[in-house]
Amino acid sequence: MHAAAPREAVVESLDHEGRGVTHVDGKTIFIEGALPGERVEFTPYKVKPNYEVADVTRVISASAQRVEPRCPHFGVCGGCSMQHLESGAQVAAKQRVLENALWHIGRARPDVLYPPIVGPAWGYRYRARLSVRMVPSKGGVLIGFHERRSSYVAPMESCAILPPHVSAMVPRLRALISGMSAPDRLPQIEIAVGEGITVMVFRHLVPLSAADTARLVAFGEAESIQVWVQPSGPDSARRLFPKDAPGLAYTLPEFGVSMAFRPTDFTQVNMGINRVLMRRTMQLLDPKPGERIADLFCGLGNFSLPIARLGAYVVGVEGSDALVRRAGQNAVDNGLGKRCEFHAANLFEATEDSLAALGPLDKLLIDPPREGAIAVVKALGVCSPKRIVYVSCNPATLARDTAVLTNEKGYRLMGAGIANMFPQTSHVESIALFERA
């Protein structure tokens, strides 16, 4: 079978994954690396009856918004998909993705489009999980994100979206792992950066030798970082070096809150955007003393504690027992223990009865994972709160849940907008406000 011959087309738009979209002979073609308005030559790598997916082989006439990717690994590494598009244009494209999803999936248009929340385009990623593989044919240990469309690890010398001091450590990390007794049994390094503290968690599948431990301690000392080791699941992670050191935390100065977290906990990767998103969320939710507000998928209490600080009583619900415990401790540590209660429950199985058990609610905040909150929105009963603020990391599930809220539950989509939490990637974080008449 011969490889498909390159063809030419003019790109019409971008899809939700940052791929160029065009139509040739009535067929939709998604072209990776192409931008709207460009004439490109492309070669398909996946051909289906009603669509094709292709790579750009040549840009014949380039968009004025095309820029030179900053990272030498762009195109191979799967960590970023939009470095070839100017930063402001990335934001505009994400806003369109949100609007299109709300309309095409949810049949809803917000009364107001909020201005996008934006921040630094580089060096923003305070959390990351780097894969480690021993590949002798490629020169030994590889450290990086996965390659595009592959489970292979992209060999990385640096990473422009990681904080500069972490990016600079990548070659030294490779040298560190190469000298370990079983370099092929250390599959990943989790990175967590708090305020003034950088932690690296080394996952190891076999026990570390005394020499391995000494190497890790020396690395931690030389790089001024905390070294943690993780022999099994996330809860097994423990600090190796230094023996006594402050824990990780991030602050929300506007609300006088400090959030302690473990390096393996889920926290927002972009601290600057998280702060601005928090401000907008609180403006839309408008918590007031005397109100009772539920924070669903509350995690460590990222939104719960600012709500409590503004005077409302918060009922936080989260699926993980460990995170519920940490949210409770964070509330106590911030002097907010009397204004918060936290419960562990599987919100993907929420029912009208389980929501009613939370007590009467004035308002509701929902911040679900990518799967969305379909069970929660379907379970909203006659006594559901008048106002809902929904923070989403997936426009498609937000739009699906919006359809239920607006068509079945009597809510109106008052406003929506994006937060550019992950610049250079196609990931779209957004916030929406719903109110019932």
Q: Active-site residue 393, yes or no?
A: yes
Nearest alpha-carbon partner for 23 in 32, 11, 34: 11
Give yes or no for a contact between 380 and 355, defined as CB atoms under 8 angstroms apart. Answer: yes
Contact 398, 430 (CB under 8 A): yes
The length of the chain, given as a count of residues: 437
Residue type, 17: E
184 is in an annotated binding site: no
Residues paired with residue 58 on neighbouring β-strands, in sequence order: 41
| Residue 50 counted as an annotated binding residue | no
The number of beta carbons lying within 10 Å of the beta carbon of residue 407 is: 12
- Cα of first residue to Cα of last residue in the chain, in angstroms, is 62
Tokens of 279: 């401000």
Is the distance from CB of 375 to CB of 244 less than 8 angstroms?
no
- The DSSP symbol for 191 reads E
Nearest C-alpha neighbor of 265 from the set 296, 300, 305, 231: 300
Lookup result for tokens 């030294």: 172
How far is residue 295's CA from residue 290's CA, in Å, rounded to a whole number? Answer: 16
The answer to the question of whether 318 is labelled as a binding residue is yes
Peptide bond into 242 cis (omega under 30): yes
SS3 content of the chain, % helix, strand, coil (to 5): 30, 30, 40
Backbone angles phi, psi at 341, to 5 degrees: -140, 145
* Calculated CA dihedral for residues 254, 412, 365, 383, nearest 10 degrees: 130
Amino acid at 47: V
Q: Does 383 appear as a known binding residue? A: no
CB neighbourhood size of 269 (10 A): 18
Q: Please, are residues 156 and 143 in contact by the beta-carbon 8 Å criterion?
A: yes
Q: Is 68 helix (H, G, I), strand (E, B) or coil?
A: coil
The answer on whether 283 is annotated among ligand-binding residues is no
**Calpha distance 9→41 (Å, rounded):** 7
CA distance 422 to 428: 7
Integer Cα distance of 43 and 285 in angstroms: 48
Look at residue 4 and give its three-state secondary structure: coil
297 is in an annotated binding site: yes
Please give the DSSP secondary-structure letter assigned to residue 317: E
User: Which position among 298, 340, 383, 393 bears the catalytic label?
Assistant: 393
Q: Residues annotated as binding site?
A: 71, 77, 80, 159, 268, 297, 302, 318, 346, 367
Instruction: Supply the residues annotated as catalytic.
Output: 393
Q: Residues annotated as binding site for S-adenosyl-L-methionine?
A: 268, 297, 302, 318, 346, 367
Q: Residues annotated as binding site for [4Fe-4S] cluster?
A: 71, 77, 80, 159
